[in-house]
Amino acid sequence: MFEALGLMVFYENMLALNNVSLGCGDNQIVGVFGANSAGKSTLMYTLSGIMEDIAKKERMSGGERITIRGKITFTGKDISHAKPAARAKAGIILCPERRRIFPESSVLENLRIAGYLATPAQAEETLEYVFKTFPPLTKITRRLGGFLSGGEQQMLAIGRALMAQPKLLLLDEPLLGLSPAIQYWLAKSIKEIADERGVSIIVAEQYARPIMPIIDYGYILENGSAVIEGGKDELMNNPDVKSAYFGA
């Protein structure tokens, strides 16, 4: 349903993504694993269209020269140059790194604002689903976003993404800064969301250990290149992946 072919992104002369191709089928969870600076956020920005916007703004302000190449298709349509808003409307929703929630709005307000693409009935149904999936949020509906713990913020960030009625959810480092117990719990919730909502998910993460068991297919990103790819078992049994991600 989603395919990216030969993605290249240059920041000035620095190659941040080098000929990356990846795909995600209906109802699949695809993992993109990589260390700091491997290019995960650049990839997620490129897939969601935000990279095109950043490049345009830089061009207009005479700033950094950002060059983007490659082709992206979604449900059979070429969306390589579609704006982020058009991609969101088509169902590609990014949940960015570091949980960009509104710190001065309450949990409930954060969720409701994010439902602007939904019909009122969809918004109510999704709100109920978010609270069912993330029970800790039910007790803090009035708390301001800025006063949440890291785990609560991440639940809210994913909840916000769900309110936008995704067909393809792009999760950028959802586990960053969370305790191992919460990481495993969130990974389980991400799998539940894929199964129960019929959503496809591409998740970029440094922490492969909790995420690897929930994926169907994965890619290892190193210095902007997808150096290894394969099904879950294939990746988990790959000696290079084992030593880099599982300390074996």
* Residues in contact with ligand ATP by the rule CB under 6 A: 11, 14, 16, 34, 36-42, 64, 97
CB of 8 to ligand ATP, least distance (A): 13
- Which residues sit opposite 9 in a β-bridge? 17, 68
C-beta closer to ligand ATP: residue 66 or 111: 66
C-beta closer to ligand ATP: residue 40 or 160: 40
Please give the C-alpha separations between residue 35 and each of 30, 155, 201, 207, in angstroms, as whole numbers: 17, 23, 20, 9
C-beta closer to ligand ATP: residue 45 or 131: 45
Per residue in 44-61, is it b (16+ CB within 10 Å) or e — as a string?
bbbbbbbbbebbeeeeee
CB of 89 to ligand ATP, least distance (A): 25
CB of 215 to ligand ATP, least distance (A): 17
* Rounded Cα gap, residues 115 and 163, in angstroms: 5
CB of 112 to ligand ATP, least distance (A): 29
The two tokens of residue 51 are 């990279």
Which element (helix H / strand E) includes 218?
A: strand 217-222
C-beta closer to ligand ATP: residue 32 or 111: 32
